[in-house]
Amino acid sequence: MNNSIVQIITAYIGLGSNLASPVTQINSARHAIAAIDGVKELAFSSLYRSLPMGPQDQPDYVNAVMSVETSLPATDLLCCLQHIEHAQGRTRRGERWGARTLDLDILIYGTQLIESPELTVPHNGIAERSFVLYPLYEIAPHLIIPGKGNVADLIANCPLAGLKRLD
């Protein structure tokens, strides 16, 4: 008899796309994430249009944030997200901040601080990126980001930087 207790974690996932019908890419990814065994969608933000980070010679991004409950360890969740990226045409060429069909990031994984070669949680830059903070605030206005502070305080110091909510 297995007496192990399954721990349920609330995780926040950032979704972004700027190629191959970004709104469709985000919506498809949302459904694929919700279909992962051991994952249940809790909330999904509005879609936001943002200027690209890094090279500006690429289309604007469409971004969103999704909160989920999961029984998966963080590295297993990451593996599932990378599989969804690949299934939706993402190719990793080592180029940082380049155009992509889909980018899925674990932003927050419960209250854990994770620092490993394959995963950093909370996600690097989370406290300065409007395309993460504004959708995150929309679905979790009282959230405390581990090691960073309250999302409401962080958003007060984060300019929109061209971010626009899509209707």
Residues belonging to the active site: 90, 100, 103, 105
- What does the alpha-carbon distance between residue 102 and residue 25 come to, in Å, rounded to a whole number? 7
Rounded CA-CA distance 149/50 in Å is 24
**Going by C-beta distance under 8 Å and a sequence separation of 6 or more, which residues neighbour residue 17?**
25, 26, 29, 61, 62, 100, 101, 102, 103
Place of tokens 């926040």: 12
- CA dihedral (140, 73, 71, 48) in degrees, to 10, reads 30
How far apart (Å, rounded) are the C-alpha atoms in residues 108 and 82? 16
Closest CA to 48 of 89, 14, 12: 14
